[in-house]
Structure 1
Amino acid sequence: MVETRNDSSLYKQLAELPSYKAAQFQSANVLRVTTTTTDHVKVAKRTSIKTYVVSEGQTIASVSPDVPEIAASALSPSRKYLAVLRESNDNSAPDGKKRFVEIWAEDKIQASLEVTDIHGAFYTDEYLFSISFSPSESKIVYTAEGRPDEPESDPLAKYRFTPNFGETYGGKKLPSVFLFDWKTSEKPTVFKITPAESSAPALLGHPVFGNENQVFAVAYEYTGDHRLLGVIYCPNRQASIWEFTVPTAAVEENLKDLKCIATKLTTGESAVRSPRVHYDAQGHAAHLIWLSNAVGGPHATCSALLIRDLSSNETSTLVKSVWDPELSQFPGLYLNTLPATPFLNTNNASTTSLVLSSIWRSRSVILQVGLSDGTVVNLTPDDEDVPYSWTILSTDEQWQILATRSAPNRPPELLLGSVANGVVSWLRVEKPNIPDDVRKKLEDLKVKVISIPGREPTETIVVRKLTQDVQPSITMPHGGPHSANALSFSPISAALAIEGYTISYPGYTGSLGFGEKHVNELLGKIGSLDIEDCIASIKHLVSLGYTAEGPGQQYLMGGSHGGFITGHLIGQYPTTFSGAILRNPVISLGELSYSDIPDWYFEESGIRYTPTSLVTPELYQKLWSMSPISHVDKVQCPVVLMIGDKDQRVPTTQGRGYYHALKGRGKDVQMLCFKDDIHAIDSVEGALAGYQAAKELFGRKQSESQAN
């Protein structure tokens, strides 16, 4: 029996459990971990830094709650220093923020400098952010918004259009690399690293030190039609790795900009990111490692891992892309970025490796890659009772790993691993503090990955109560489409499963973790192949007796491309579903309006995108036929649309237009608008409203079906 009362207490308890976002080793047994927690009273996400001391299998923890002024921080390789990028509210500052760079040693500040007038906001995202110490630990490099050049001779300079980096970047346009030096001069100084050559790129991020006067960074480029295509979730953006030689004399002269010799290290068209430097036993920069994808095409594909020998300057591929693996074979690398400290056994060159997290079918796993031969070893335990997904947070650069794991029926835990001969011994450092009654309800959920017959390699993750009863089902197709529903914890899904729904996460064709072939196979077939996979998943669960057909039995929730799939399903199979919730959905492919990824609409429809691409009448007809809007007249079930007003990825006109189209046809439709939410609608208010909308809509249809 499904719980139909719209009580949010269970969801709130699950959503308020902490998740682990970043970590570093302060020493072999002292761990510094950043966590985030949802606070429904303050309606905010709160960040805390916890310190754990692990001794003889026992853990002592202390917490520093609420560190809102710390934008980012990082420990030096020796763990002696802590670099802090701090932002504080100040109405007198141009954008309401004052910014400081600080260096701490234990509980004492060693150096501090206000940088409010030097640059704009710090970049703290995973694609452009990094804090890197020089080998001498006397300097750091980091990324921040540069100040645009506005010549006095140009009275229109401040009005001239400059593209930004799209979704989640809040108008950030000029990522620049800054060097903070607190030892060379009498006082701390910040310099902007600037290429000496006018032909070198200016949009720089993710800087890392090599040797003392050597900095590597990722350079992004404008497209031919002067765009910066959205970066987040899109590792197919043209970018290159550059080496900058920092002039020591310029640092000593306290110049504002450091004019550096710039050398491009990657050739041809490539989409690179996440550079990491491996140091040898003598402390010299030995290798540069980075991730690389093809430019254009599907927005996320199988990544290659490249390595450059810094003594010979030769570059080779350490791990190649995988096309079509067998069921149990390594499917390739699928990840956004490498860990900040990924290396193991750096004092033993013959066994040096790096570790990373990647999608392997419907699971996130930890992989070890040998630097000498690219051998890949799966370090993830074969959990017999609970199918966990694992994510690496950090290493001690010797033999220890910090990781977090979760499952659809298990909230995140923190674990410490010791690696020996390709095997990891794991110690649970912390598990969530859950009330006994809630823990029991979670443990009563069963999680299973089910292959869909005749649709290989399609499979679906099923979460449901331990019962033989047939339960109403909520199918939740993921967005992307080139992403994945890994076996990880979701408060909304867990709460709905506890309340009596069978939750199904279909990994349809185009999902990551199954090989490059299956990513590319969806191109030109969206609206058909992905729909067929999802409906086959639903029918298979019906045949297994997990759920049933008929009124009040089948529901849908999906966002972005998952909303696109949801719109197709309720239009193509109008009598199958009793309710649907769509978050920032793609509804009409031909009506682009504005998106930070216009290439998505073309490439996913099977049409190559170029800077001259336009939607012609002939193309519009094709895109219309592939879109959910073409089935709007057949929709029968009630629909709730959720729109993030600050979404830069899917134009809000898509969902709003669908609302009016349904309303004009007399359909049962509601629209919820969130003025401060972006594409994900993952704010405290937005996430809670999504859960409440599901309970209200699905619960209402349950009551109606039971009454009939």
Structure 2
Amino acid sequence: NRFLSSYSLSGDLKAVVRVTSGQVVVQQFLEVWSDRCLKKILDLSALNKHGRVYEDAQFGCLAWSTCESRLLYVAEGKRSIGESYASASSPSAGEPRDKSVYWEDWGEGLTSKSVPVLCVADVAKGTVTVLQGVPSHVSPGQGLWAHDGESVFFVGWWHEPFRLGLRFCSNRRSALFCLDLEGNCECLSGDTSSVSSPRLSPDGRYLVYLEGQVFGPHSQCLSMQQVSPQPDLQPPNSQTPFAGLYEALPPRCWASDSQRVVFSSARRNWRVTPPLYWSFRLTPPPPYTGHLGYSPLYWSFRLPPPPILVIYALSLQVVAFLPLAGGEGEVSWDHLGESCLLGAIVNVLDVSPTPQEENPEYSGLDFGALLVTTNHLPSRTKVPLVVFVHGGPHSQFFAEWNVTTAVLVKLGFAVLMVNYRGSTGFGQDSILSLAGNIGSQDVKDVQVPSELSKLLTLDPDKVVVMGGSHGGFLACHLIGQFPDFYKACAVRNPVINAATLLGTSDIVDWFMHTNTNTLPYSCQRQAYHLVSSVCVQIKAPVLLMLGGKDRRVSPYQGLELYRSLKSRGSPVRLLLFAEDAHSLARVDTQADCFLNVVLWFQQHLYLH
């Protein structure tokens, strides 16, 4: 099976890492293709220089050198290489190694990743070299070649005193390094921040990367930095039109003139092209009223510049070429065609908290919500409402295609998605406002727009709620704090009890108060303790969906709620997916979960 693939800068060559699983061993091959012809194949397993090649977005890369003769990638180091990473109890030379020694990994979604190493494959020679010189206190990833082809850039994450979960966490201590092929390493950034997404301009003169605070909220506004004394794009406050950078830069985000960086970012309920690094803005695509809006920009990475900008909407696809510098305001968007996947109307709402719900430390903040309904509703018909709560908590819903929402609307539900205070896209102040107010501010934000159930088209007696992770936590709080409002609840891997989560989560720092090289986050631990407080008020039937291999929120969290509800005779059903993790992302799991959610809601709303 194809594992990773990457085109060379000219587009003439394509590298593919392929993995085949036999009855006994897993074999890895690096293939180089040209014009659909296989030019070279390296048996990585037979060369035995490293373990499994990394394919994830956190560490992984497959980067061509400018001369197109070498490839840079990241793989799991051989344990003999990684002995310096282990504890002081490592065996001395000549002593047998104990196979039962525990090796830390990087948590949820990265459970097979422990000791990453940078590797260079020489296509012509058919050799693989593990680069030496990476500082022993960091784990390298996100590598790319310098323009001269004699050194590489990479991000190094600190793994002392122990590894913490990296997935969805842009707040881990890390730095940008330059390593030459002789093993000489230099730190190019500060070493007290969090760094990611290094991107080199086509002419090799400029290197930009994203930088954020260490610890604090696990997802937050990031600043764009450049390795030179140029102005930096800093995180905004809540009053600026630009709402900040929250996600990785595209792999090829530079324009061919090496003067412009193109990316998308969240702004309120939308994902947009913000003012870019050299202060230009693309003309927005043509409006398309009455549909779910536009999804993020997708760039053509395969071809040489100019990049092609493609936007996919629910019922619209548009494309444009990036113009020359100065002409961004006159982008010409061409329609590729329309489809009728779903007749839906999306209402984008701006919501202000009541004076009683204002955060005195961060006053004046508002938040957003999306109400999605069908446009084929017969007159005088009322539809049930699903309140869909996002996790994170520092993430958001975008006004774009969401398959869960789309199918729920197709099945006759209206769907309300709330970007409560603390969601991304509303500035750093909004994110910081949630600290210390989890379980109160976010719960009230989600509940206030639920008054939309008073609209004539919505049935106020048929409101249900669903969410996962922190969204599951909020859903459980909602049915506990407002027991007569919701008629059913469906939650995936919900946070239930901070006391039991502290020792089991891969991001235990999220819940800690003291600075022990982990996050001194000042959230209220008691807000998470549902079982002894909120749970006793729950009346709504609860459907629990848990991943048996969840490293972020232990399945025992959900089991604790299950047993508590069972002991009280409350309607509850538990689905345990033993081979799935926190996101419940396997295709069969997603299908199973969705069908069960719909049937659960239909059953308890007495729908046919």
Q: TM-score, normalised by structure 2?
A: 0.89
State the identity as a percent: 27
RMSD: 2.4
> Aligned pair 1:596/2:533, yes or no?
no
**What is the Cα deviation at residue 156 of structure 1?**
3.6
**What is the Cα deviation at residue 157 of structure 1?**
4.5
Which residue, out of 281, 303, 310, partners 2:222? 303
Residues 540-559 of structure 1 deviation map (CA, whole Å, 9 limit, x = unaligned): x1344342433xx1100100
Could you tell me which residue of structure 1 aligns to residue 195 of structure 2?
A: 272
Distance of aligned partners of 1:609 and 1:687 in 2 relative to their CA distance in 1, 3 Å threshold: farther
**What is the Cα deviation at residue 609 of structure 1?**
4.7
Could you tell me which residue of structure 1 aligns to residue 460 of structure 2?
A: 549
Distance of aligned partners of 1:611 and 1:320 in 2 relative to their CA distance in 1, 3 Å threshold: closer
Could you tell me which residue of structure 2 aligns to residue 180 of structure 1?
A: 121
Measure, in 2, the Cα distance between the counterparts of 1:286 and 1:538.
52
Q: Which amino acid aligns with 1:624?
A: Q
Distance of aligned partners of 1:394 and 1:127 in 2 relative to their CA distance in 1, 3 Å threshold: farther
- Write out aligned runs for 1:324-473 (5 A): 324-326=238-240, 329-335=241-247, 337-346=248-257, 352-367=259-274, 369-370=276-277, 374-385=278-289, 386=291, 387-395=293-301, 396=303, 398-407=305-314, 410=315, 413=317, 415-420=319-324, 421-422=327-328, 423-428=330-335, 439=340, 442-443=342-343, 445-454=344-353, 456-466=365-375, 467=377, 469-473=381-385
**What is the Cα deviation at residue 680 of structure 1?**
0.9
- Write out aligned runs for 1:65-464 (5 A): 69-93=1-25, 97-116=26-45, 117-149=48-80, 153-183=94-124, 187-195=125-133, 199-210=135-146, 211-224=148-161, 226=162, 228-247=163-182, 260-280=183-203, 285-308=204-227, 314-326=228-240, 329-335=241-247, 337-346=248-257, 352-367=259-274, 369-370=276-277, 374-385=278-289, 386=291, 387-395=293-301, 396=303, 398-407=305-314, 410=315, 413=317, 415-420=319-324, 421-422=327-328, 423-428=330-335, 439=340, 442-443=342-343, 445-454=344-353, 456-464=365-373
Q: Which amino acid aligns with 1:458?
A: F
Distance of aligned partners of 1:626 and 1:656 in 2 relative to their CA distance in 1, 3 Å threshold: closer
Q: Comparing 622-631 with 527-536, which one deviates more in the overlay? A: 622-631
Distance of aligned partners of 1:546 and 1:240 in 2 relative to their CA distance in 1, 3 Å threshold: farther
Could you tell me which residue of structure 1 aligns to residue 474 of structure 2?
A: 565
Residues 639-684 of structure 1 deviation map (CA, whole Å, 9 limit, x = unaligned): 0000011111101110011100110111000100111211111212
Does structure 1 conserve the Cα–Cα contact (< 8 Å) formed by 2:285 and 2:333? no
Could you tell me which residue of structure 2 aligns to residue 255 of structure 1?
A: none
Residues 305-352 of structure 1 deviation map (CA, whole Å, 9 limit, x = unaligned): 1111xxxxx3545311012135xx1111111x2111111132xx5xx2
Distance of aligned partners of 1:301 and 1:378 in 2 relative to their CA distance in 1, 3 Å threshold: farther
Does structure 2 conserve the Cα–Cα contact (< 8 Å) formed by 1:365 and 1:379? no
Measure, in 1, the Cα distance between the counterparts of 2:111 and 2:317.
32
Measure, in 2, the Cα distance between the counterparts of 1:298 and 1:628.
22
Measure, in 1, the Cα distance between the counterparts of 2:458 and 2:337.
36
Q: Which amino acid aligns with 1:392?
A: Y
Could you tell me which residue of structure 2 aligns to residue 650 of structure 1?
A: 553
Could you tell me which residue of structure 2 aligns to residue 574 of structure 1?
A: 483
Could you tell me which residue of structure 2 aligns to residue 627 of structure 1?
A: 529
**What is the Cα deviation at residue 379 of structure 1?**
4.6
Does structure 2 conserve the Cα–Cα contact (< 8 Å) formed by 1:357 and 1:391? yes
Residues 468-493 of structure 1 deviation map (CA, whole Å, 9 limit, x = unaligned): 64321100110000001112222222
Residues 31-70 of structure 1 deviation map (CA, whole Å, 9 limit, x = unaligned): xxxxxxxxxxxxxxxxxxxxxxxxxxxxxxxxxxxxxx11
Which residue, out of 443, 465, 468, partners 1:531? 443
- Write out aligned runs for 1:632-643 (5 A): 632-643=535-546
Measure, in 2, the Cα distance between the counterparts of 1:205 and 1:700.
48
> Aligned pair 1:498/2:410, yes or no?
yes
- Match of 1:153, SS state, is coil
Does structure 1 conserve the Cα–Cα contact (< 8 Å) formed by 2:107 and 2:166? yes
Q: Report which structure shows greater RCO (CA 8 Å, sep ≥6).
A: 1
Q: Comparing 575-584 with 627-636, which one deviates more in the overlay? A: 627-636
Distance of aligned partners of 1:368 and 1:181 in 2 relative to their CA distance in 1, 3 Å threshold: farther
Measure, in 2, the Cα distance between the counterparts of 1:315 and 1:179.
31
Point out where structure 1 has 5 or more consecutive residues left out of the alignment.
Answer: 1-68, 248-259, 309-313, 433-438
- Match of 1:522, SS state, is coil
Could you tell me which residue of structure 2 aligns to residue 664 of structure 1?
A: 567
Does structure 2 conserve the Cα–Cα contact (< 8 Å) formed by 1:135 and 1:212? yes
Which residue, out of 666, 684, 689, partners 2:592? 689
Q: Which amino acid aligns with 1:103?
A: V
Does structure 1 conserve the Cα–Cα contact (< 8 Å) formed by 2:541 and 2:604? no
Measure, in 1, the Cα distance between the counterparts of 2:460 and 2:515.
41
Could you tell me which residue of structure 1 aligns to residue 421 of structure 2?
A: 509
Measure, in 2, the Cα distance between the counterparts of 1:665 and 1:506.
31
- Match of 2:245, SS state, is coil
Measure, in 2, the Cα distance between the counterparts of 1:430 and 1:145.
44
Does structure 2 conserve the Cα–Cα contact (< 8 Å) formed by 1:83 and 1:104? yes
Does structure 2 conserve the Cα–Cα contact (< 8 Å) formed by 1:393 and 1:404? no
**What is the Cα deviation at residue 406 of structure 1?**
3.1
Distance of aligned partners of 1:200 and 1:379 in 2 relative to their CA distance in 1, 3 Å threshold: farther
- Match of 2:271, SS state, is strand
The structure in which a higher percent of residues are strand is 1
Does structure 1 conserve the Cα–Cα contact (< 8 Å) formed by 2:59 and 2:141? yes
- Match of 2:331, SS state, is strand
Distance of aligned partners of 1:154 and 1:680 in 2 relative to their CA distance in 1, 3 Å threshold: same
Measure, in 2, the Cα distance between the counterparts of 1:676 and 1:586.
20
Measure, in 2, the Cα distance between the counterparts of 1:207 and 1:586.
35
Measure, in 1, the Cα distance between the counterparts of 2:173 and 2:311.
32
